[in-house]
Amino acid sequence: MKRAILAIAIAALGLSLAAGAFAAGEVKNPEQRSWSWDGVFGKFDRSQLQRGYQVYKEVCAACHALQYVNFRNLTEIGFSDGQAKALAASYEVDDGPNDEGEMFKRPGRLADPLPKPFANEKAARAANNGALPPNLSLITKARHDGPNYLYSLMIGYGQPPAGVKLGEGMNYNPYFSGNQIAMAPPLADGAVQYGDNTQATVKQMAEDVTAFLTWAAEPSLEARKRLGFKVMIFLLVMTGLFIAAKQRVWRDLH
Amino acid sequence: MSEMQLKNPMLRWIEYRLPIFSFIDHSVGSQYPAPKNLSYWWNFGSLAGIALVMQIATGIVLAMHYTPHADMAFDSVERIMREVNYGWLLRYFHANGASLFFLVVYIHIFRGLYYGSYKYPRELLWWLGLVIFVLMMATAFMGYVLPWGQMSYWAATVITNLFSAIPWIGVGITEWLWGGFTVGNPTLARFYSLHYLLPFVIVGVVFLHLWALHQHKSNNPLGIDIKGPQDTIPFHPYYTYKDLVGLGVFLLVMFGFVFYHPNYMGHPDNYIPANPLQTPAHIVPEWYFLPFYAILRAIPSKLGGVIAMAASILVLFLIPWLDTSRVRSTKFRPVYRWFFVFLVIDVILLGIVGAKPPEGIWILIGRLATLYYFLHFIIFMPFLGWFERPLPVPDSIHQPVLGAAAGAAAAGENKR
């Protein structure tokens, strides 16, 4: 009886947790893919992250900021100190005021965040037909089923089905809420030239940039899973010892 | 208090001047007698206490790195996640720890409901537990606001707006809570201050809860009184070791979430910075508030909803008197047992309704489930107590535990 209650409770709890994820309208569910960082031992693929950074830098960065990533963080995805410094120095950054009270420009440093494409929200909207390109530093955590959603969105553009009227300057994408998105299809075959001879197909670039943005949203993911495995092993052993100790203490009772 | 035999001279020196060791021994040690038949369902009280301590410990460190300002709070949380050493671990620990704390407390409450732990002479013990629960809800709600994401902001807006339903003075109260004319920086600052304060108030009420518990000792699966020393065993070592087993399992579950699904119980919208100009498509609270959220929305008037939600908790204060049954434990109540199962299902159903947008069939289900919730306590509890014929209750805890054939059957489902 009590076991039945427990089973019902656990099953229903699981249901209610799953129900917490909302389902709104006729938005297409993202394509379910397996990613290198899935699972207990999941890891990022460094060369994929670097390709993803290249896609971000050459395509997305024209409109989307990545405010929580600094140039120094790029060493975490396999760039050397020198490479990250050179990347930083290729940007002009506002600094100041200097001793004369003037703002000035200087080459970027490792400590600088990646530069923002627009000075403020108004400027971003003015340049994008009124739409605001979201900051991408947390995007895979800020959307339900983030990585799959992002990937599906990148490759999901298409012709609207008959009867669907698009707004002015809007594009059809079944994965986007409302199926109309202001962003034009960002990727086209060969949009970037990969240094490692990987074919820059739309799917490849979508996959790479999804990996990069997943890392950007959760740079501690690998450390978390590594530490987690050790902690879980420790806790399993500890719980086993607790059970044994409890049995021993209770054995002499009655 | 009896003299304590301490071998260590230093401890003896302290004990002579401040009898703290015998105090601990009498509170949770070898001098505290507990019924010998407590099952693993009795683990959840001590687990809740441990969860509270873990929340305070992680919270204090998080507070060292957090900035309670509307313009900086979100960034400071991301700073904790990215720059602070093991900051991601602290924050995921604190966020998932809160969820697991509620899970443990809900099991603890339903355990009390099943075994009649609220009945004479434990009414005040039950009340103090409910006070802790209400304080926990306030603390958790204000903590959820602190990251200042979209859900933080809009949850704060929805919940504080509930007070505006109070006639005449409601709007005044709401603006007083906000510290302005909308949820804003003053709201965040005071929520932060109170989120730091309330856990220590909870600690205080926990001590009262334990004090009341120790007066009449733990209830037990048979729901009968302790008749003498043959019915009890010392809390230490028996229940300290048994509680450790529960703690191990609890930590495995909690760290499973922390390390492998840290955002499972959160909402993605809270990784979007608060934007007062853009309402999220669905504003949903954390899972542990969903049943109450469903009751709130079940009544088609704002004031009515607020009253129903408050009543859903207040009614729990009355059940020591609403329950007219002569026996405590539902184990001996063949009819009420089913009603207990229905109540559990009803509360879970309310939770599911709370997560759904209030449309279509969910409105009706939410209303029926809300109605059933109140029917259970106000109608079924008193009437079943009068009309139900309980099964024969064993004479003592000692006898069934000793394993006489009849006793074993009575205690059959009960793990040692």
> What number is the average pLDDT over the span B195-202?
98
Cβ contacts of B352 on chain A, cutoff 8 Å: 12, 15-16, 19
Through-space distance between the first and last CA atoms of chain A, rounded to whole angstroms: 27
Q: Using the 8-state DSSP alphabet, how is residue A113 labeled?
A: B
Residue-by-residue DSSP string for A193-225: --TT-----HHHHHHHHHHHHHHHH-TTHHHHH
Length of chain B equals 416
CA–CA distance from B56 to each of B36, B50, B197, B202, B381 (Å)?
A: 32, 10, 10, 11, 37
Higher per-residue pLDDT: A18 or A152 = A152
Cβ contacts of A4 on chain B, cutoff 8 Å: 341
Q: Domain B41-219+245-283, what fold?
A: Cytochrome Bc1 Complex; Chain C (1.20.810)
**A163 has a pLDDT exceeding 90:** no
Residue with tokens 């409770």: A9
Nearest Cα to Cα of residue B101 among B59, B61, B60: B59
User: Please, which contacts does A90-99 make with residues 24 or more away whose CB atoms are closer than 8 Å?
Assistant: A91/A115
**CA distance linking residue B278 with residue B230, whole number of Å:** 65
CATH number among 3.30.43, 1.10.287, 1.25.10, 1.20.120, domain B289-391: 1.10.287
Whether A11 and chain B come into contact, CB under 8 Å, resolves to no
Nearest by CB to B78, which of A24, A68, A245? A68
Residue B238 to residue A250, Cβ atoms within 8 A: yes
Split at pLDDT 50, 70, 90, the class of A18 is: very low
Amino acid identity of residue B130, one-letter, is L
Split at pLDDT 50, 70, 90, the class of A159 is: very high
Distance from CA of A173 to the nearest CA of B (A): 19
> What is the model's pLDDT at position A253?
84
> What is the model's pLDDT at position B405?
47
Interface test with A, best of B259, B279, B283, B340 (most A CBs within 10 A): B259
Residue with tokens 């899973």: A225
Tokens of A169: 């300057």
**CA distance linking residue B24 with residue B32, whole number of Å:** 9
**Which residues are registered as beta bridge partners of A113?**
A70
pTM above 0.90, yes or no: yes
**Domain locations in chain B as residue ranges:** 41-219+245-283, 289-391
> What is the model's pLDDT at position B77?
98
Q: What is the mean pLDDT of chain B?
A: 94
> What is the model's pLDDT at position B408?
44
**A11 has a pLDDT exceeding 70:** no
> What is the model's pLDDT at position A21?
39
B335-360 per-residue burial string, b: 16 or more CB within 10 A, e: under 16: ebbebbbebbbbbbbbbbbbbbeeee
Burial of B189 (0-12, 13-18, 19+ CB in 10 A): middle
Interface of A with B in 192-231 (CB under 8 A): 217, 219-220, 223-225, 227-229, 231
Q: Is B99 a catalytic residue?
A: no
Q: Hey, how many other C-beta atoms are within 10 angstroms of the C-beta on B37? A: 22
**CA distance linking residue B192 with residue B146, whole number of Å:** 7
Interface test with B, best of A6, A13, A15, A22 (most B CBs within 10 A): A22
> What number is the average pLDDT over the span A171-196?
94
**CA distance linking residue B409 with residue B234, whole number of Å:** 25
Residue A231 to residue B89, Cβ atoms within 8 A: no
Q: Is B218 a catalytic residue?
A: yes
> What is the model's pLDDT at position B2?
52
> What is the model's pLDDT at position A6?
52
Interface of B with A in 250-289 (CB under 8 A): 251-252, 255-256, 258-260, 262-265, 267-269, 271-272, 281-282, 284, 287
Q: Using one digit for the tens of pLDDT, what is the confidence trace for A91-112? A: 999 999 999 999 999 999 999 9
Q: What is the H or E stretch that residue B34 is in? A: strand B33-35
Residue with tokens 């979100």: B74
Cβ contacts of B264 on chain A, cutoff 8 Å: 17
Split at pLDDT 50, 70, 90, the class of B5 is: confident
Residue A22 to residue B348, Cβ atoms within 8 A: no
Helix orientation angle between B87-114 and B123-145, rounded to the nearest 10 degrees: 150
**A16 has a pLDDT exceeding 80:** no
Whether B352 and chain A come into contact, CB under 8 Å, resolves to yes
Split at pLDDT 50, 70, 90, the class of A151 is: very high
Least confident of A115-124, A162-171, B133-142: A162-171
Least confident of B77-81, B209-213, B294-298, B408-412: B408-412
- Give the ipTM of the model, two decimals please: 0.90
Distance from CA of B185 to the nearest CA of A (A): 21
Tokens of B59: 């919270």
